[in-house]
Amino acid sequence: MDTTLQDPLVGQVLDGRYRVDERIAVGGMATVYRAVDTRLDRELALKVMHPALAVDVSFVERFIREAKSVARLAHPNVVGLFDQGADGAYVYLAMEYVAGCTLRDVLRERGALRPRAALDILEPVLAALGAAHRAGFVHRDIKPENVLIGDDGRVKVADFGLVRAVGSVTSTSGSVLGTVSYLAPEQIEDGGSDTRTDVYACGVVLYEMLTGVKPHSGDTPAQVLHRHLNEDVPAPSGAAPGLAVGLDELVAAATARNPEIRPHDAVELLARAREARAELADEQLDLLPPRALDGGDPAPGEETTGIVARALPREEPAGGGRTARLPLPLPPPAAPDAAPDAGPAPRRGIALPRRGVLAIVLAVLLVLGAGTGVWYINAGQFTRVPAVIGKTEGDARERLEGAGLDVREVRRQFSETVRRGEVIASDPATGERIRGNGSVRLIVSRGPEIIRIPSVKGDSHATAERRLKEAGLAPGAVSREFSETVPRGSVIRTEPEAGARRGPDSAVAVVVSKGAPIEVPEVIGDRVAEATEKLEGAGFEVEVAEGRVNAPQEAGSVARQSAAGGARLAGGDTVTLTVSKGPRMVAVPEVTGESEDDARSALESAGFEVRTEKSFPYLGDTVSGQSPKGGGRAPEGSTVTIRIKGL
């Protein structure tokens, strides 16, 4: 029985529209399915957030917000987003389904690529990222797994689920995002990222395409991270002799450890890549990868499973996008007088593989008959990995062996969504091409891992964050509260509280003490020195604002304070003082002879307070005099006295 059907969504129609046909992959945040839009009869990919995460309102809001960000990136080299919605506990994205393979598949089968093929892939990737960067977004997880090569030959960048606005906070709150081999030094040091971190990752991907290996290796992720921080990415020509200096320079510019000297964004790196291509001769662009140059066996797929022989004319979509066609790395033809089985014939010092003639025939047939796109030849040597996700380990082994494959390794990891003993993923993944007698690695679920939140009350904020990370949790939002008992800067509590049980990498909010509240003294009207002494004596920092303002207070005294007298602040908080330059002098209106009401209106409109003196008995309301007299000038806000004379 196919245990994939145990997935409750497979076979269901989500939101009355999307029929879920097959589970493709499971990640930490979501599961991806192949589905059909029943309204438009269109095949698509459905990314469904794990129900356990969908109960977190803030997480769902971020998921939706980022989906809207991706929807703005309408670019031919970006995997399209069609729809976003929710059906009960299922929050989903409906995305373009790309039939083909990933760049990781190509590198796994073939190793290093010729420079022409590497640039044909890099340039549309940079075009897609350039559109994102100029729209204000950063991808943050560029790697070969997220570069798709469709059956139609188009290169597309996938998984923009981690995008962030360039101007927004991009700290990962203690969890470094991305894959360690492609992280820029600044991402490792503080978790921050901007357009230049994407540029760095693209430089690493280019190095890997040119050499077939990653620039930094190690026995543990920590060793790889240490090398990214402390060692420059080496020149690719060191691993692939004969590569042009221009390619070394392109990789060096993109992977500079100092982000200030990298190209600012993908648009700038794309321009440099095109300049580097223009400076290379055909023989430099078509240089065979290292294994072929050494006379060894070609990389898997080098002849019989390669990609079409010649790059077709490229279209230039709006925004600088490029349709990539990957050239088939054709072996050099035999000399005209050589027998088919006479062995290698020399051409620029490169040996012709024994199966070269067959490869040429197949390539010519493809060019004549296929026309366009990325095409693969299956000469009976390759098969595709059967679906084993969701199956028990025993069932998965049985199905793989039935396909002529064996299991080279079983790794086990915790999972909140896949039941214990069932397969989370395979490497190569479901549907990927593999040699008929190849091996597959299985990742099997150990079930959920539960972590008890440690008590960090009384710890400093930094110590609390370190202890939460050591426990396998992620420090979350930080808020501050007054406390009469917990010293300033120490932790009052966590949310969820200590002792609660959570899964690994769950965010834990921390509430930090502002100390006991302190009442702010009233200092308006005081001289600045006197006001500063009062505030500092109460435990506050004092700043004096630049510039002075007209105010009723005497020049040189305090006109305003940022926290009013009597307000409660934390010790060490800053109170800003604004200094008076004295009141503004304004003209006094002449109101003698006017009625009391008219006189009052005129004086108040000019900015004065009005006081009335009346002589008894008074029967009229005509102003007989005023002080100060009309026509002179007096401080704005001062009092003008008007007199109403009696009989």
Task: Please tell me the distance from the alpha carbon of residue 273 to that of residue 115, in angstroms, as a whole number.
Answer: 11
Pairing state of beta strands 18-26 and 13-14? Answer: antiparallel
**Which tokens sit at 352?**
């012709």
Q: Give CA separation, 64 vs 17, 314, 505, in Å.
A: 19, 35, 21
- From the CB of residue 86, how many other CB atoms can be counted at a distance below 10 Å? 15
Q: How far apart are CA 28 and CA 383, in angstroms?
A: 29
Is the bond into 628 cis (omega within 30 degrees of 0)? yes
- Residue 310 C-alpha from the chain's centroid: 36
Bridge pairing between strands 423-427 and 164-165: unpaired
Q: How many whole angstroms separate alpha carbon 214 and alpha carbon 331?
A: 26
d(CA 374, CA 323): 11
SS3 546: strand
SS3 of 303-339: CCCCCCCCCCCCCCCHHHCCCCCCCCCCCCCCCCCCC
Distances (CA, A) of 129 to 180, 216, 593: 20, 24, 78
**Active-site hit among 105, 141, 159, 198:** 141
Single-letter amino acid code for the residue at 119 = L
Nearest to 474 by CA among 494, 489, 493: 494
What string of DSSP letters covers 570-594? Answer: ETT-EEEEEEE--PPEEEPP--TTS
Residues 588, 71: Cα–Cα separation, whole Å: 64
333: closest CA among 319, 348, 345, 315? 345
Which residue has 């710890």 as its token pair?
459
What distance in Å separates the CA atoms of residue 21 and residue 32, rounded to the nearest whole number? Answer: 11
Where are the extended beta strands (E) located within 355-419? 382-384, 406-413
CA Rg, the chain, in Å? 36
Q: The tokens 């050499």 sit on which residue?
A: 211
Q: 102, 144 in Cβ contact below 8 A?
A: yes
427 flagged as catalytic: no
Residue type, 188: I
Catalytic residues: 141
